[in-house]
Amino acid sequence: MNASTLTPLISRELIVVTGKGGVGKSAVSAALGGLLASQGRRTLILEIDPRENVHQMLAAPPSGGEIVQVTSKLYLQHLQPRMVLDQLVRERVRVEFLTKRVLESPVYHHFSEGAPGLKEMAVLGHSLLLVQGRVPGAPAIDVVVVDAPATGHGVALLRAPRLVSEVIRQGPVASMTKEVAELVASPDRCGVVVVTLAEEMPVTEALELRADLRSDVQREPDLLVANGLYPPVSESTRETLETADARRLWYSRRELNDAELARLDEHWSGPRVKVPLFPLDRGPELVAEIERELAQ
């Protein structure tokens, strides 16, 4: 990973990987995690999606909420934000029946479901505690790669500390919010990776995400990954082989990719990696290929 676009990301404590569903975000998160681990960073991939996915990429057993060791330096965990909040209540309210009362109260249910930014804060707070070695029973972790939920913009995650600090001003959540806000605001400690396909809707969404990042958290993405590209077509090939349907389809899909890559170029001059479509099912082999592309 010498002097690659990834170099600035190596020393971060938190890397948020965002992008809409279906763009290969989990595969990129897994590859990024693998690369960081291969550089000696003790890395944990934190997955938030309702359904577990990353373990398949790494051929690891499912996490079910626990931390799973994948290789000597790579871990993964699938997390429901609600679990983090429940744990917080348990730690704070040490009396058993009171804990139960809080956890089962409709007020708690409603606020944990509907309070602005709270679930996102739970995810970030958990990440912070992990890298600070403050999660009981967890291994030592240098960097957490968050595979952000597919629904909604990943920017919601980064916006959360401010939302929460507006309504909660004291107690453990408030102090954690302050720490998390500092982490997220620091480009040296927190990185943002945007994954997209080079197709119209995903690119439009990636550009919106970038605008939101800028206006809401005053951040730029550290890396943009254009994933799933059809293979380039050389000029000579294009001229001679424009007959068969499949070939024409290949050329037009690649042309579409090129047009959308150009649109990305227009709006984004920062670090960018192009990752081709591989003839591989999701799994470690695919992740290894993406790792190679990211490392270039």
CA distances from residue 185 to 39, 181, 189, 221, 292 in whole angstroms, order as listed: 25, 6, 8, 12, 30
Q: Does 146 bind another protein (CB under 8 A)?
A: no
Any contact of residue 10 with another protein (CB under 8 A)?
no
87 binds another protein (CB under 8 A): no
Binding to another protein by residue 83, rule CB under 8 A? no
Least distance from C-beta 290 to another protein, angstroms?
13
With CB under 8 A as the contact rule, the residue among 263, 278, 288, 293 that binds another protein is 278
| Binding residue for another protein, selected from 1, 10, 88, 288, defined by CB under 8 A | 88
Stretch that binds another protein, among 9-17, 67-75, 179-187, 249-257 (CB under 8 A): 249-257
H-assigned helices in 115-199: 118-131, 155-167, 171-185
Contact in structure between 193 and 17 (CB atoms under 8 Å) = yes
Residue type for 109, please? Answer: H
Q: Which two tokens stand for residue 115?
A: 């309070």
Contact 47/78 with Cβ under 8 angstroms?
A: yes
Instruction: In angstroms, give the least distance from the CB of 231 to another protein.
Output: 4
With vertex at residue 102, the alpha carbon angle to CA 101 and CA 107, rounded to the nearest 5 degrees, is 115
Residues 197-236 that bind another protein (CB under 8 A): 197, 200-202, 204, 230-234
- Considering beta carbons, is residue 185 or 233 the nearer one to another protein? 233
Shortest distance, position 182 Cβ to another protein, whole Å? 20
d(CA 106, CA 101): 10
276 scored as a contact of another protein (CB under 8 A): yes
Is 59 a binding residue for another protein by CB under 8 A? The answer is no
**Nearer residue to another protein within complex by CB, 138 or 167:** 167
Using CB under 8 A as the binding rule, whether residue 288 contacts another protein is answered as no
Return the CA Rg of the chain. 21
* Residues facing 273 on adjacent strands: 225
Considering only the stretches 16-24, 33-41, 126-134, 184-192, report the one whose residues sit in contact with another protein under the rule CB under 8 A: 16-24
Q: How far is the CB of 253 from another protein (least distance, A)?
A: 7
With a CB cutoff of 8 Å and minimum separation 6, the contacts of 34 are 58, 71, 74, 287, 288, 291
